[in-house]
């Protein structure tokens, strides 16, 4: 009989994984402890903005006309334990309040809820990003709490999906990494991922600690690449060089590569910032903190970018203070094609300017509701044009396609002064300057 799959936790990772598993042909049951999420998902609606996810969900959620009916959602742990042969744990692991370490409480409570109900042999697969060493601890706990004992086996299978590309990244992964302790676990996971494997996705089999480390080291590498190019942007600014040209030129070297070399206000979101911090905290616990001291610098370069954008904006409005100045902010999400505002550099910059007395008006194509919830005291507008009305300076902080397609002439009519600061190096300087704007970007010559 075909494997039956459950997915525990239906955030970005879980909702996408559940839909993708149904797309691959499995019967899938998703669980979340938040009933409102389950109601939405059961109606084929996604609680966040993720391109393509709703379509694939509607294709499979039971009860939707024309769907395969392979995908259902529940809040019942009993139902999940009864249903699944393979249980994917996709709960989130945010940064602990006031600490660098990662908060494991959602993962741990998922194991504690599921394990006592496991009465037949199953595979539990952790997908969350966790500190190295967690899988070994959770495997022991699972065997201890499950009535079936060691018949409830653990595997660790980190997920590398990017927001905005979640569906594609899940169905066509660059690689599948599995940390396993038995041939049975490996065999089951090969069965689960037969579709992508048939398409040629590499399958890397390893032990628990390596599987956990692959994820945190991949994210650390990406963060380092971004901070590297942002450090070069600082030097370029001091030396009157152009970081965009520099990135292009070094990127031609295949050993370096072109990707993730876009200088600007830096990285944010629910993963890179908290993952490098949790990694440093864990290395400290292991007595290997010296190995990761460079990540502190990566973090510090990244946070400096936000402050630098605030400085450039202050300079643009006269140099001394934001009091009485109107600042338009285009972009609130941490990156385009997402409604996620967690640790968003754009909102951080907007918030800093607001706290310094600026009159800030924000517009974002998809992130307005989340931004309003997080920063209720900022001003918000319904369109980019409304956001820039009367502005003394316009800040471009998230590189949505909509912003690249703005007409500098039309916007120029609405603003108080034609000054735009490009925090993402994504607009065409010639076009903006050609329309009479003072265009300034990070790490590029002033004119
Ligand atoms: C990241 C990893 O890419 C993904 O593999 C992992 O599973 C989760 O964390 P995500 O958080 O969705 O994915 O965003 P990503 O596309 O990596 O971008 C992260 C941040 O870096 C964004 O704020 C983005 O604007 C910024 N960034 C990215 C840059 O500033 N410059 C770049 O060149 C690339």
Whether 304 and 282 map to the same domain: the answer is no
Distance CA 370, CA 341 (A): 6
Residue 211 lies in a domain: no
Query: Is the C-beta atom of 265 inside 6 A of ligand 1?
Result: no
Whether 169 and 229 map to the same domain: the answer is no
Count up the domains in the chain and report the number: 3
Whether 241 and 331 map to the same domain: the answer is no
Q: Which of 155, 182, 206 is the last residue of a domain?
A: 206
Q: Annotated active-site positions, please?
A: 271
Residue 385 lies in a domain: yes
Instruction: Per residue of the chain (447 residues), give pLDDT as tens.
Output: 689 999 999 999 999 999 999 999 999 999 999 999 999 999 999 989 999 999 999 999 999 999 999 999 999 999 999 999 999 999 999 999 999 999 999 999 999 999 999 999 999 999 999 999 999 999 999 999 999 999 999 999 999 999 999 999 999 999 999 999 999 999 999 999 999 998 999 999 999 999 999 999 999 999 999 999 999 999 999 999 999 999 999 999 999 999 999 999 999 999 999 999 999 999 999 999 999 999 999 999 999 999 999 999 999 999 889 999 999 999 999 999 999 999 999 999 999 999 999 999 999 999 999 999 999 999 999 999 999 999 999 999 999 999 999 999 999 999 999 999 999 999 999 999 999 999 999 999 987
User: Where is 136: in which H helix or E strand?
Assistant: helix 134-145
Query: Is the C-beta atom of 262 inside 6 A of ligand 1?
Result: yes
Question: Which tokens belong to 79?
Answer: 């139902």
Instruction: Give the model's pLDDT for residue 1.
Output: 65
Question: Which tokens belong to 111?
Answer: 């194991």
**CATH number, domain containing residue 266:** 1.10.1040.10
Whether 146 and 181 map to the same domain: the answer is yes
Instruction: Give the model's pLDDT for residue 38.
Output: 97
Q: Does residue 59 come out as left (phi exceeding 0), alpha (psi in the -120 to 50 range) or beta?
A: alpha
Whether 351 and 280 map to the same domain: the answer is no
Whether 59 and 186 map to the same domain: the answer is yes
Residue pair 86/3 in contact by the 8 Å Cβ criterion: yes
Whether 193 and 223 map to the same domain: the answer is no
Distance CA 243, CA 444 (A): 6
Q: Which of 266, 275, 390 is nearest to 326 (CA)?
A: 390
Query: Is the C-beta atom of 422 inside 6 A of ligand 1?
Result: no
Length of the chain: 447
Interval between CA 8 and ligand 1 midpoint (Å): 24
Whether 240 and 129 map to the same domain: the answer is no
φ, ψ for residue 332, nearest 5 deg: -130, -25
Residue pair 145/116 in contact by the 8 Å Cβ criterion: yes
Question: Which tokens belong to 325?
Answer: 């100045």
Largest CA distance in the chain: 73
Residue 92 lies in a domain: yes
DSSP string, 32-72: -S-HHHHHHHHTT--SS--TTHHHHHHHHBTTSTT----EE
Residue 152 lies in a domain: yes
Residue 50 lies in a domain: yes
Residue 228 lies in a domain: yes
Structural domain boundaries enclosing 243? 216-297
Whether 221 and 202 map to the same domain: the answer is no
Q: Which atom of ligand 1 is nearest to the CA of 275?
A: 9
Q: What angle do CA 235, 229, 350 make, to 5 degrees?
A: 90
Interval between CA 162 and ligand 1 midpoint (Å): 7
Query: Is the C-beta atom of 127 inside 6 A of ligand 1?
Result: no
From 162, 169, 172, 276, mutation site for ligand 1 pocket: most ligand atoms within 8 A of C-beta: 162
Which residues, 6 or more positions from 433, have their beta carbon under 8 angstroms from its beta carbon?
Answer: 439, 447
Whether 49 and 139 map to the same domain: the answer is yes
Whether 116 and 196 map to the same domain: the answer is yes
Q: Which of 152, 171, 206 is the last residue of a domain?
A: 206
Instruction: Give the model's pLDDT for residue 205.
Output: 98
Q: Does residue 338 come out as left (phi exceeding 0), alpha (psi in the -120 to 50 range) or beta?
A: beta
Query: Is the C-beta atom of 272 inside 6 A of ligand 1?
Result: yes
Q: Which of 394, 424, 446 is nearest to 265 (CA)?
A: 424
φ, ψ for residue 148, nearest 5 deg: -80, 0
At which residue do the structure tokens 């002439």 appear?
409
Flag whether the ipTM exceeds 0.85.
yes
Residue 447 lies in a domain: no
Question: At 443, is the secondary structure helix, strand, or coil?
Answer: coil
Distance CA 11, CA 171 (A): 17
Q: Which atom of ligand 1 is nearest to the CA of 344?
A: 23
Distance CA 185, CA 192 (A): 11
Query: Is the C-beta atom of 302 inside 6 A of ligand 1?
Result: no
Using CA positions, which residue lies closest to atom 13 of ligand 1?
A: 162
Distance CA 19, CA 64 (A): 14
Report the interhelical angle of 208-239 vs 134-145 (nearest 10°): 150
Whether 279 and 154 map to the same domain: the answer is no
Residue pair 176/204 in contact by the 8 Å Cβ criterion: yes
Residue 243 lies in a domain: yes
Total-model pTM: 0.96
**CATH number, domain containing residue 139:** 3.40.50.720
Question: Which tokens belong to 266?
Answer: 């830096």
Instruction: Give the model's pLDDT for residue 333.
Output: 98
Instruction: Give the model's pLDDT for residue 446.
Output: 86
Q: Which of 257, 276, 297 is the last residue of a domain?
A: 297
């Amino acid at each position: 009989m075909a494997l039956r799959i459950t997915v525990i936790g239906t955030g970005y990772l879980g909702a996408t994984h559940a839909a993708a598993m149904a797309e691959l042909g499995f019967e899938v049951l998703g669980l979340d402890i938040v009933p409102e999420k389950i109601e939405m998902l059961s109606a084929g609606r996604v609680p966040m903005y993720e391109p393509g996810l709703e379509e694939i969900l509607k294709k499979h959620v039971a009860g939707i006309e024309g769907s395969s009916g392979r995908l259902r959602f529940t809040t019942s742990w009993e139902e999940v334990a009864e249903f699944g042969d393979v249980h994917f744990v996709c709960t989130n692991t945010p940064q602990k309040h006031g600490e660098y370490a990662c908060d494991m409480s959602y993962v741990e409570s998922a194991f504690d809820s599921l394990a006592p109900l496991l009465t037949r042999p199953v595979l539990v697969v952790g997908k969350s990003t966790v500190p190295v060493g967690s899988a070994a601890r959770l495997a022991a706990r699972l065997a201890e709490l499950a009535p079936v004992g060691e018949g409830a086996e653990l595997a660790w299978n980190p997920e590398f999906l990017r927001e905005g590309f979640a569906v594609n990244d899940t169905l066509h992964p660059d690689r599948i990494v599995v940390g396993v302790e038995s041939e049975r676990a490996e065999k089951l996971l090969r069965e689960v991922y037969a579709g992508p494997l048939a398409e040629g996705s590499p399958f890397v089999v390893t032990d628990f600690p390596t599987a956990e480390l692959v994820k945190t080291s991949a994210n650390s590498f990406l963060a380092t690449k971004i901070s590297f190019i942002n450090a070069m942007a600082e030097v370029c600014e001091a030396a009157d060089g152009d970081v965009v040209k520099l990135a292009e030129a070094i990127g031609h070297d295949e050993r370096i590569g072109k990707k993730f070399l876009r200088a600007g206000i830096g990285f944010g979101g629910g993963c890179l910032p908290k993952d490098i911090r949790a990694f440093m905290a864990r290395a400290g616990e292991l007595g290997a903190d010296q190995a990761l001291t460079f990540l502190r610098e990566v973090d510090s370069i990244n946070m400096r970018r936000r402050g630098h954008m605030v400085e450039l904006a202050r300079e643009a409005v006269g140099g001394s203070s934001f009091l009485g100045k109107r600042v338009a902010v285009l972009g609130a999400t941490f990156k385009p094609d997402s409604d996620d505002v967690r640790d968003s550099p754009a909102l951080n910059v907007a918030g800093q300017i607001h706290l310094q007395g600026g009159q800030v008006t924000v517009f974002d194509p998809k992130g307005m509701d989340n931004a309003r919830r997080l920063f209720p005291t900022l001003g918000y507008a319904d369109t980019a044009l409304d956001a820039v009305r009367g502005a003394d300076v316009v800040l471009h902080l998230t590189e949505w396609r909509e912003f690249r397609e703005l007409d500098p002439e039309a916007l120029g009519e609405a603003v108080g002064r034609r000054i735009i600061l490009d925090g993402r190096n994504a607009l065409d300087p010639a076009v903006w300057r050609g329309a009479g704007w003072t265009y300034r970007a990070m790490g590029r010559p002033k004119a």
